[in-house]
């Protein structure tokens, strides 16, 4: 079956709308992939919140994302949402699950193949569900680093981004940037400490996921002069913040499966200074589009070298490896292979 003839049911999470207004990395990837597929002529039904915006056929049960509307019962709408998608599985050639592990429990009840992009493992406790459906599942890893040894994978597909949304900046402003959720995993504390050590200006952007952590390690140092906290950034603000930074600080405290902000920074020409955990060695080419560092002392040394990096090379690397078009191509090849063997 040709790619344009494949009918795809895209099952999005419903924590946020598609595309998200601010935060929502899984929903953002769903949006990029969905719109890219529709542009290629693929028949896509997007299962997402009712306020989602898409050129695909939208099917919705939840009126809004439950992270945006706390009056919604998450479990109730998750059940209704997943059920609605699988009730239409007979009209689809592929169900593409971005909803984590729960939809796998429906997958033996339908004959339509289910592709599951694993956006990361929140805990080892969820792995038994993935393991239980490994014999019929088509798992996609978003990085080689995030492959679980107990699972069989159909493919590894790095995320791609719409490069046109990111403006190349040859000459940045004079600040460092932390861009991500405020949580111990993401390294806001380390970014603040590095800024204080070096006297560099730091802009912090992102939603607060751990209030106690923010109150202890970020808020006391925000003076709106050297260190600023600007909250969550919408797409236009994100483009300006990333492009204006001398470097993105990504001093993470966990094995990150991917890291959209890393490749988005590169797309604006901004290099990344990161700890070499998870997917970072796959995304960052040390000395080309950033530096992989072992500790804060090494990060400080990298700051002295960051202006030596060619920002055009950062952009070129993002174009070569992380375009939305490449991601769409990769998924189309996977769909074709799965459908032809079904």
Convert the pLDDT of each residue in 294-339 to its tens digit: 999 999 999 999 999 999 999 999 999 999 999 999 999 999 999 9
Q: Which of 1-5, 49-53, 223-227, 336-340 has the lowest mean pLDDT?
A: 1-5
**pLDDT for res 180:** 94
Work out the pLDDT band at 129, boundaries 50, 70, 90.
Answer: very high
The matching CATH number, chosen from 3.50.50.60, 3.40.190.10, 3.40.50.300, 3.40.50.2000, for 163-321 is 3.40.50.2000
The reported pTM is: 0.94
CB 213 within 8 A of CB 184: yes
CB 104 within 8 A of CB 67: no
**pLDDT for res 342:** 72
Residue spans in the chain of domains classed CATH 3.40.50.2000: 3-160+323-341, 163-321
Helix (H, G, I), strand (E, B), or coil: what is residue 109? helix
- Which helix (H) or strand (E) segment is 263 a member of? helix 260-267
Give the residue among 149, 9, 156 at the shortest CA–CA distance from 90: 9
- CA 65 to CA 151: how far, in whole Å? 30
> Treating both helix axes as pointing N-terminal to C-terminal, what angle do 25-39 and 324-341 enclose, rounded to 10 degrees?
70
Question: Is pLDDT above 70 for 4?
Answer: no
**pLDDT for res 341:** 87
The sign of the torsion formed by the CA atoms of 218, 221, 222, 228 equals negative
Under 8 Å CB-to-CB from 88, ≥6 apart: which residues? Answer: 9, 45, 59
Question: Is pLDDT above 80 for 123?
Answer: yes
For the chain, how many residues are written? 342
Work out the pLDDT band at 70, boundaries 50, 70, 90.
Answer: very high
**Which tokens hold the place of 117?**
């992009």
**pLDDT for res 49:** 98
Per-residue pLDDT, averaged over 175-185, amounts to 96
CATH number of the domain at 3-160+323-341, please? 3.40.50.2000
**pLDDT for res 202:** 98
Question: Which residue matches tokens 């459908």?
Answer: 339
- CA 16 to CA 28: how far, in whole Å? 9
Question: Is pLDDT above 90 for 136?
Answer: yes
Under 8 Å CB-to-CB from 2, ≥6 apart: which residues? Answer: 336
Question: Is pLDDT above 70 for 1?
Answer: no
Work out the pLDDT band at 22, boundaries 50, 70, 90.
Answer: confident
CB 263 within 8 A of CB 322: yes
């Amino acid at each position: 079956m040709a790619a344009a003839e494949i009918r795809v049911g895209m099952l999005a999470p419903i924590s946020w709308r598609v595309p998200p207004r601010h935060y929502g990395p899984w929903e953002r990837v769903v949006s990029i992939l969905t719109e890219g597929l529709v542009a290629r002529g693929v028949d896509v039904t997007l299962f997402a919140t009712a306020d989602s915006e898409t050129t695909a056929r939208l099917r919705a049960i939840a009126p809004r994302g439950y992270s945006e509307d706390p009056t919604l019962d998450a479990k109730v709408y998750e059940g209704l949402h997943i059920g609605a998608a699988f009730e239409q599985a007979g009209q689809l050639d592929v169900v593409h699950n971005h909803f984590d592990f729960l939809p796998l429990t429906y997958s033996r009840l339908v004959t339509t193949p289910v592709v599951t992009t694993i956006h990361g493992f929140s805990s080892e406790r969820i792995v038994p569900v993935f393991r239980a459906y490994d014999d019929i599942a088509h798992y996609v890893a978003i990085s080689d680093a995030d492959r679980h040894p107990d699972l069989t994978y159909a493919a590894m597909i790095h995320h791609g981004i719409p490069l046109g949304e990111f403006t190349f900046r040859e000459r940045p402003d004079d600040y460092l940037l932390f861009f991500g959720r405020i949580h111990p995993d993401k390294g806001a504390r380390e970014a603040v400490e590095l800024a204080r050590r070096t006297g560099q200006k730091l802009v912090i952007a992102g939603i607060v996921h751990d209030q106690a952590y923010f109150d202890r390690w970020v808020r006391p140092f925000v003076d709106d002069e050297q260190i600023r906290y600007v909250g969550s950034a919408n797409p236009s603000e994100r483009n300006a913040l990333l492009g204006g930074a001398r470097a993105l600080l990504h001093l993470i405290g966990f094995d990150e499966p991917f890291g959209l902000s890393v490749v988005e920074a590169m797309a604006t020409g901004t290099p990344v200074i990161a700890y070499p955990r998870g997917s970072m060695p796959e995304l960052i080419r040390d000395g080309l589009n950033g530096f992989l560092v072992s500790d804060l002392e090494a990060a400080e040394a990298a700051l002295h070298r960051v202006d030596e990096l060619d920002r055009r090379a950062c952009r070129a690397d993002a174009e070569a490896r992380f375009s939305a078009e490449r991601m769409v191509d990769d998924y189309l090849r996977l769909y074709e292979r799965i459908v032809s063997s079904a």
